[in-house]
């Protein structure tokens, strides 16, 4: 069986957007169609924090040190990878796909790897370490097909 056969799913994601695609064509002429879009509204940390950074007492002196504020923006990015992993697990468990290609920047790939279930991992046939979320479908098809050719 070729890698990008009909029915193969392709997840194109970054830390805030994801496209769940399915190849309705064949391995020679892929035809990726959008099955679902996910986006996360994730404003900068400065717009998410409600309080000033905390302070703590350094001991018996009157000196107090600042505590770093939580990076809410970064936390939301990590949670998005967890959410995507959960979505993939639900769909794999329902038998909606047998083969999966993951296209994401290296950092997001790492976050996803740490979060996905074995049932999803067993269906992954390729990982493409690129950010293609802002590209049109025909460019995504081309880039994925080239990456798959290089994997064979």
Burial (CB < 10 A; 0-12, 13-18, 19+), residue 137, is middle
Average pLDDT over residues 2-16: 88
pLDDT at 129: 95
CATH number at residue 140: 3.30.420.60
pLDDT at 42 over 50: no
| 97 belongs to a structural domain | yes
| 134 belongs to a structural domain | yes
Q: Which is more confidently placed, 95 or 68?
A: 95
* Domain span holding position 30: 9-43+69-151
DSSP H helices, 27-117, are 45-48, 72-93, 106-115
Q: Determine contact, residues 119/46, Cβ cutoff 8 Å.
A: no
| Structural domains in the chain (count) | 1
| 2 belongs to a structural domain | no
Percent of the chain with pLDDT over 90: 51
- Residue 12, classed as helix, strand or coil, is strand
Q: Which is more confidently placed, 130 or 49?
A: 130
Tokens read off for 134: 């802002």
Q: Is the pTM of this model over 0.85?
A: no
* Cα gap 60→29, rounded to integer Å: 72
Radius of gyration of the chain (CA): 20
Lowest mean pLDDT among 18-27, 57-66, 75-84, 107-116: 57-66
| 56 belongs to a structural domain | no
pLDDT digits (tens, 9 = 90+) for 78-135: 688 889 999 999 999 999 999 999 999 999 999 999 999 999 999 999 999 999 999 9
| 101 belongs to a structural domain | yes
pLDDT at 66 over 60: no
| 63 belongs to a structural domain | no
* Cα gap 36→60, rounded to integer Å: 58
Q: Taking Cα atoms as reference points, which of 10, 6, 2, 8 lies closest to residue 130?
A: 10
Percent of the chain with pLDDT over 70: 71
Compute the residue count for the chain: 152
pLDDT at 28 over 50: yes
- Residue 93, classed as helix, strand or coil, is helix
* Cα gap 73→65, rounded to integer Å: 24
pLDDT at 12: 96
The residue behind tokens 């993939």 is 88
DSSP 68: P
| 109 belongs to a structural domain | yes
pLDDT at 37 over 70: yes
| 1 belongs to a structural domain | no
């Amino acid at each position: 069986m070729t890698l990008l056969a009909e029915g193969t799913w392709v997840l194109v994601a970054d830390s805030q957007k994801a496209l769940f695609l399915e190849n309705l064509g064949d391995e020679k002429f892929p035809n990726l169609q959008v099955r679902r879009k996910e986006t996360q509204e994730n404003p900068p940390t400065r717009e998410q924090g409600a309080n000033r950074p905390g302070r703590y007492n350094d001991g018996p002196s009157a000196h107090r040190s600042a505590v770093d504020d939580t990076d809410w923006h970064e936390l939301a990015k990590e949670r998005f990878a967890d959410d995507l992993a959960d979505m993939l697990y639900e769909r794999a468990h329902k038998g909606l796909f047998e083969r999966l290609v993951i296209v994401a920047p290296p950092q997001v790939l790492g976050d996803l790897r740490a979060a996905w279930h074995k049932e999803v991992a067993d269906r992954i046939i390729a990982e493409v370490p690129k950010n293609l979320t802002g590209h049109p479908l025909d460019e995504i098809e081309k880039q994925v097909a080239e990456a798959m050719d290089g994997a064979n």
